[in-house]
Structure 1
Amino acid sequence: MSSINLPLILTLAVFVTGLVWLYDRLVLSRPRKQALEAVEQQFARADLKNGAQRKAYEEAREAAGREPVWVEYSKSFFPVLALVFVLRSFIAEPFQIPSGSMEPTLEIGDFIVVNKFTYGIRLPVLNTEVIPVNDPERGEVMVFFPPHQPDTYFIKRVIGLPGDTVTYSDHQLTINGEPVPQEVVEVNRSAPNPYRVVKETLGDNTYTVRKHLTPGRYSRHGSWTVPEGHYFMMGDNRDGSFDSRGWDELNGDPNKNFSFVPESEIVGKAFAIWMHWDSLFSVPSFERAGTIH
Structure 2
Amino acid sequence: MSALTGLLYAVLLTYLGGWYLGHWTGNFSLLLFLLTVATGVYWLAERFRFAPARADAARALEQQDAQRREQLARQGITQVDGSLDEARRRVLAQPWWLDWTAGLFPVILIVFVLRSFLFEPFKIPSGSMIPTLAIGDLILVNKYHYGVRLPVLHTKVIDNHAPQRGDVIVFRYPVDERIDYIKRIVGLPGDRVAYVNKRLSINGQPVARTALPEFYDEDSLRYALQFEEALPRAEGQTHRFRILNDRDRSGFVLPMPEFRGPKDACSYTAEGVSCTVPAGHYFVMGDNRDNSQDSRFWGFVPEGNIVGKAFFVWMNFGNLGRIGAFD
The counterpart of 1:30, out of the listed 52, 66, 70, is: 52
TM-score, normalisation: structure 1: 0.86
The counterpart of 1:268, out of the listed 294, 308, 319, is: 308
Question: CA distance change for structure 1 residues 53 and 206 in 2, over 3 Å: closer, same or farther?
Answer: farther
Cα distance in structure 1, aligned partners of 2:307 and 2:162: 12
Backbone CA RMSD of aligned residues: 2.4
Where does residue 94 of structure 1 map in the other structure?
Answer: 121
Structure 1, unaligned stretches of length 5 or more? 248-258, 279-284
Where does residue 208 of structure 1 map in the other structure?
Answer: 242
Where does residue 252 of structure 1 map in the other structure?
Answer: none
Q: Shift of the alpha carbon at 1:153?
A: 0.4
Local SS of the residue matching 2:321:
coil
Where does residue 8 of structure 1 map in the other structure?
Answer: 30
Where does residue 288 of structure 1 map in the other structure?
Answer: 322
Where does residue 282 of structure 2 map in the other structure?
Answer: 231
After TM superposition, list the pairs within 5 Å mapping 1:165-180 onto structure 2: 165-180=192-207
Identity %: 44
Local SS of the residue matching 2:86:
helix
Q: Shift of the alpha carbon at 1:194?
A: 5.2
Where does residue 113 of structure 1 map in the other structure?
Answer: 140
Cα distance in structure 1, aligned partners of 2:213 and 2:103: 54
Worse-superposed segment, 206-215 or 190-199: 190-199
Count of matched residue pairs: 271
The counterpart of 1:19, out of the listed 31, 41, 44, is: 41
Question: CA distance change for structure 1 residues 189 and 131 in 2, over 3 Å: closer, same or farther?
Answer: closer
Larger radius of gyration: 2
Structure 2, unaligned stretches of length 5 or more? 1-19, 71-78, 254-269
CA contact (8 A) 2:196 2:251 kept: no
Where does residue 59 of structure 1 map in the other structure?
Answer: 86
What is the letter of the counterpart of residue 222 of structure 1?
V
The counterpart of 1:217, out of the listed 231, 242, 252, is: 252
What is the letter of the counterpart of residue 250 of structure 2?
P
Cα distance in structure 1, aligned partners of 2:216 and 2:142: 37
Q: Shift of the alpha carbon at 1:53?
A: 6.3
Q: Shift of the alpha carbon at 1:55?
A: 6.2
TM-score, normalisation: structure 2: 0.77
After TM superposition, list the pairs within 5 Å mapping 1:54-203 onto structure 2: 56-187=83-214, 195-202=224-231, 203=233
CA contact (8 A) 1:180 1:200 kept: yes
